[in-house]
Chains A and B, each alone.
Chain A
């Protein structure tokens, strides 16, 4: 549009200057496109190719086997298990984080004049800017069976000590708890942003009309706030689906396969079993899932912008 705008603007401009301007534009893109080509596009094609080969690192050259790797995924109870576990985990953590985050977001709505607000929010938001590896280590210490603080509390109230991360009954919930701790602040932040997108005039009108709380939420707040909330929920869903580092440090996927999520399973297949062909096929499936998520995200984003 600017290329054509520039033409109409300077009446004397010729097509050739518009053409030249276009080259300038493309020239500005070159460094980014070069990076994108070398570190994203080529690896993706490499991945696609590798998905059709039998190739284990250190065991000879790749052998073309067609769609066998994909058949193996479909016929693998471990992979199905990891997928369904990941979905169960994602639904659970996102559900809890949204419920808690929205509730606390409403609570924090009106904190504009809170004394020390900046410091309080820094403390509140710290969990989400921490490295998942550091988080995993922190919580290993907190869950520690002999001198960990949580077990001390349990003993104090007359319970018996639990080794949370190696007990098959508690490991999954223990990881869910850490995820909820880490990412509920994100949903609080998104809720605050969503509430901030509601025009003040409409809230005041609702006040004058003496609408009930439910009516306000339904007719005044949600029509405006729903987009940012949906974007928040989508980002959390994408991220929870990717969970790898956190679980890898805390449980390594165990005990048994209780916390073996798809990211962890893939990592193990690629770098412990060195089965690069098979793991590439799994990675391709995840790539398609990621593209689907991105499409949904952008669809919601554009929908909110069109209004």
Chain B
């Protein structure tokens, strides 16, 4: 049977692998189509019926790089996502360690609240934040930075606590008996053992902030507008005549980043997509 072969690990027939590849390609087809569109000349994009074979041109890709409007979007996406996620993981690790080692009576409740903040629809969460940001003049770099940091915290705490829980407290005790301080225990004893958790927290918050749209659209300003914002604006502005070549080029370049990330960090995908609550092999 299928599962027996799977378990004993014997090779499977070529046809089986071809079917799996076909399924994977089928899911990738829409993305491939956009990438192809990005490389088409305008007349080829608008051709009826659509051209499968065409002379590739780099015009649209060049335009994305040359457009003075677009590079700031890329730049903002990069610094906002990397900066806020490093900061969030940095403060979440001590908190996760504290939640794991000091069994405070309020731990479960706080962890529950943290997780539920990520279950609320963005449109609901944004209303009071919108008011608050207006009231305190927070719309801008600083505001978006702390907002994205707060987005990344729940997931980081959840995933890191899960990993730290898996490290025996004997490590802490041994180190403390031999005279080490808490900071030493945390960063020199525990941190090296939960590296996969740190990587997963980093990667998946990065993807999340990289993809975030609504908060950026409503609360951001020119100093924080990211690529999803740029995509939506470029699409809406053109009205009836959407500049498909430009949009396709920009979104293909944009999607490459998460793709590269999941290629190299595939084993973190599961833990990443489930808030660190499910671990295992895929």
The answer to whether A binds B is: yes
The answer, yes or no, to whether B155 is at the interface (CB within 8 Å) is: no
A35 and B255 CA atoms in complex are apart in Å by 30
The residues of A that contact B120 with a CB separation of less than 8 Å are 242, 286-287, 290
Q: A138 CA to B104 CA in the complex, in Å? A: 48
Say yes or no for B207: interface residue by CB 8 A criterion: yes
Residues from 48 to 73 in B contacting A, C-beta threshold 8 Å: 48-50
Give B residues with C-beta under 8 Å from A: 1-7, 9, 11-12, 16-17, 19-21, 23-25, 27-28, 30-31, 33-34, 37, 45-50, 91-92, 94-95, 97-99, 101-104, 110, 112-117, 119-132, 146-147, 149-150, 153, 157, 169, 172-173, 176-177, 182, 186, 207, 210-214, 218, 227-228, 231-232, 235, 242, 244, 247-248, 251, 254-255, 258-259, 261-263, 266, 269-270, 273-274, 277-278, 280-282
Of the listed stretches A66-74, A90-98, A145-153, name the one at the interface; the rest are far from the partner chain. A145-153
> Known contacts A133-B232, A245-B228; can you find 12 more A-B pairs with CB under 8 A?
A2-B169, A36-B110, A123-B27, A126-B255, A138-B30, A141-B244, A148-B50, A189-B270, A190-B278, A192-B282, A242-B122, A263-B121
**Residues of chain B lying within 8 A (CB to CB) of residue A241:** 121
Looking across the interface, which residue of chain A has its beta carbon closest to that of B3? A203
| Contact in complex: A129, B261 (CB < 8 Å) | yes
* Chain A residues with CB under 8 A of B242: 140
Chain B residues whose C-beta falls within 8 Å of the C-beta of A22 in the assembled complex: 102
Is A249 a contact of B232 with CB atoms below 8 Å? yes
A25-B102, A189-B282 known; A119 vs B49 contact (CB < 8 Å):
no
Q: Give the distance to chain A from B216, nearest Cβ to Cβ, in Å.
A: 10
Known A2-B172, A24-B182; contact A146-B125, beta-carbon cutoff 8 A: no
Q: List residues of chain B with CB within 8 A of the CB of A109.
A: 2-3, 6
> Contact: A132 with B213, CB < 8 Å?
yes
A134 touches B280 (CB 8 A): no
Offer 5 A-B interface pairs, CB within 8 angstroms, sorted by A.
A35-B149, A46-B131, A104-B23, A283-B125, A290-B121
Q: Which single member of A122, A130, A262 contacts B211 (CB below 8 Å)?
A: A130
Report which of B31, B130, B153, B282 forms a contact with A126, defined as CB distance below 8 A.
B31
The distance from the CB of B99 to the nearest CB of chain A, in whole angstroms, is 7
Report the Cα distance A36→B98, complex, angstroms. 16
- Minimum distance in angstroms from A82 CB to a CB of chain B: 11
- B101: which A residues are within 8 A, CB to CB? 1-2, 25
Nearest CB of chain A from residue B119's CB, rounded to whole Å? 4
Q: Contact between B128 and A47 (Cβ–Cβ < 8 Å)?
A: yes
A residues near B19, Cβ cutoff 8 Å: 107
Within 8 Å of chain B (Cβ to Cβ): is A87? no
Chain A: interface secondary structure?
helix
User: Main secondary structure on chain B at its contact with chain A?
Assistant: helix
Contacts of B28 in A (CB 8 A): 123-124, 126
A35, A47, A181: which contacts B30 (Cβ < 8 A)?
A181
Shortest CB-to-CB span from A137 to chain B, Å, is: 6
Chain B residues near A291: list those with CB within 8 A. 116, 119
A200 touches B (CB below 8 Å) = yes
Chain B CB within 8 A of A43 CB: yes
Q: Does A12 contact B (CB under 8 A)?
A: no
In the bound assembly, the distance between CA atoms of A155 and B48 in angstroms comes to: 10
Q: Which residues of B contact A5 (CB under 8 A)?
A: 169, 173
Residues of the A chain whose Cβ atoms lie less than 8 Å from the Cβ of B157: 32
Given known A-B contacts A134-B254, A294-B119, A35 and B11 have beta carbons under 8 A apart: no
Cβ contact within 8 Å between B119 and A147: no
Interface positions, chain A 164-210, Cβ under 8 Å from B, are 181, 184-186, 189-190, 192-193, 195-197, 200, 203-204, 207
A120-B21 in contact (CB<8A): yes
Contact A122 B259 (CB under 8 A): yes
Interface contact A26-B273, CB-CB below 8 Å: no
Instruction: Collect the chain B residues with CB atoms within 8 Å of residue A184's CB.
Output: 27
Tell me, rounded to whole Å, the shortest Cβ–Cβ distance linking A238 to chain B.
Answer: 5
* Central interface residue in B20, B153, B214, B261, by most chain A CB within 10 Å: B20
